[in-house]
Amino acid sequence: MLAITELISGGICLVRRAVEVKAARPLAPTMSDVARKAGVSAMTVSRALRGGASIATETREKIMNAIEELGYVLDQSAGSLSSKRTGFVAALVPSLNNSNFADTARGLTDALQGSGLQLLLGYTDYSTEKEEELIESMLRRRPEAIVVTGGKHTIRGRKLLENACIPVIETWDLPPKPVRHVVGFSNAEAAEALVKHLYARGYRKIGFIGGTSNRDTRGADRRLGYERAMAKLGLKETRIISFGTPPISMKQGGEALARLVEQWPDLEAAICVSDLSAFGALTECQRRKWPVPRRIAIAGFGDFEISSCSHPTITTVGVNCYDIGRQAGELLLRAIEGERTQKPVAAETIVTDYEIIAREST
């Protein structure tokens, strides 16, 4: 039967039907199937599905019914091949399970609302090697723009970003030599501000708790800011404990505090690379029955919910995470529009706000 059908008609559609009978599961219906059922051409179906073209109400209804009956779902990869619009942008963040980056992702998603663009998230696990892999596999799917976190990439990763003929936005940092667009702030400067805050409150013997490597570039920048501020304020002795692979956890924050006070028993205040480790440090104090901030003051970074909810509440640096995403999203839309109209927008750097949020722990 199959062979005969092929010989007589040579028709693709008939062969398709014949195969369908044999297959264990039916093949997913295509646009032509819908078109045939509705008695129109495939092009009309395409137009009906995407809107923007004029279609007779009656025709549209026939098409929608056919789609409903067949359970048809558009195949976008086929569509984007011919239209050269994949309808998505890629965003790489270090970790999903981090409310800061989750907020940035939310900002991005919101900015993309209604633009017909979807967000495709990848997480790099704070590794530039993994980032490189992700950049490549994202580019293979031809995103219309790509957002990355930070300005540190592998050499090949950077080259891939530069060669990709799409807008590139680096976020959460102010890279000295950005690939193109930037939406971020200086983590070092923010950490400096935090040190100054502690100084203003009278603390002098200030320590810093962070991870062991520079994998988390923002964490490394914050330490740098701490060191710079200490030097500027004439506080010669820095007290730094590096412990755990970034991003360090609550528990590691506690352990790090233990080491910090062991090494420098005169410690008056501890700045932690993030609120999570700050909370760990706080509970370590509580276990020792050390009053915070009377015995030791503690500050974090990122304004996670825990810092405003813990007892005592924790002083921290509030970052406009959502806004970083939002602004990146809006910039990206402008840039994509620029590409499409052959009028590329100039490289832009948007600096976002941060603020010291003084709470009970200092």
Nearest approach, Cβ of 105 to a second copy (angstroms)?
7
Selected binder of DNA within 14, 55, 102, 139 (CB under 7 A): 55
Name the token pair of 256.
């790090």
Look at residue 209 and give its three-state secondary structure. Answer: strand
> CB burial class (10 A; 0-12, 13-18, 19+) of residue 80?
middle
Q: Could you give the residue ranges of the DSSP H alpha helices within the chain?
A: 2-9, 12-22, 31-38, 42-50, 57-70, 76-83, 99-112, 128-140, 155-163, 187-200, 217-232, 250-263, 275-287, 305-309, 321-340
Which has the closest alpha carbon to 45: 66, 27, 29, 71? 66
Minimum CB–partner distance for residue 67 and DNA (Å): 10
Over the window 8 to 47, marking each residue x when it contacts DNA by CB under 7 A and - when it does not, the resulting string is: ----x---x----------xx-xxx------xxxxxx-xx
Give least dist CB 54 to DNA, A.
2
Contact between residue 219 and residue 210 where contact means Cβ atoms under 8 Å apart: yes
Nearer to a second copy, 266 or 305 (CB): 305
- Using CB under 7 A as the binding rule, whether residue 342 contacts DNA is answered as no
Nearer to DNA, 67 or 297 (CB): 67
**Tokens encoding 48:** 């009906």
User: In angstroms, what is the minimal distance from the CB of 309 to a second copy?
Assistant: 4
Q: Of these partners, a second copy, DNA, none, which one is at the site of residue 44 (CB under 5 to 8 Å by kind)? A: DNA
Which of residues 14, 18, 70, 74 is near DNA by CB under 7 A? 74
Residue closer to DNA by CB (options 84, 311) is 84
Q: 6 contacts which partner out of DNA, a second copy, none, CB within 5 to 8 A by kind?
A: none
Site for DNA in 81-100 (CB under 7 A): 81-85
4, 23, 54, 177: which one binds DNA (CB under 7 A) = 54
Q: Residue 85 and residue 50: Cα distance in Å, rounded?
A: 13
- The rounded distance, in Å, linking the Cα atoms of 339 and 345 is 8
Tally helices (H) and strands (E) across the chain. Answer: 15, 12
Question: With CB cut-offs between 5 and 8 Å by kind, which of a second copy, DNA, none does residue 259 bind?
Answer: none
Contact 282, 316 (CB under 8 A): no
The residues binding a second copy (CB under 8 A) are 23-28, 71, 73-78, 80-81, 86, 95-99, 102-103, 105, 118, 120-121, 136-137, 139-142, 159-160, 163-165, 249-251, 254, 276, 279-280, 283, 286-287, 305-306, 308-311, 339, 342-344
Beta carbons within 8 Å of 183's beta carbon, 6+ residues apart: 169, 170, 171, 324, 327, 328, 331, 349, 350, 352
**How many Å apart are CA 268 and CA 205, to the nearest integer?**
5
CB atoms within 10 A of CB 295: 13
311 binds, among DNA, a second copy, none (CB under 5 to 8 A by kind): a second copy
Binder of residue 250, out of DNA, a second copy, none (CB less than 5 to 8 A by kind): a second copy
32 binds, among DNA, a second copy, none (CB under 5 to 8 A by kind): DNA
Binding site for DNA (CB under 7 A): 12, 16, 27-28, 30-32, 39-44, 46-47, 49-50, 53-56, 58-59, 74-75, 78-79, 81-85
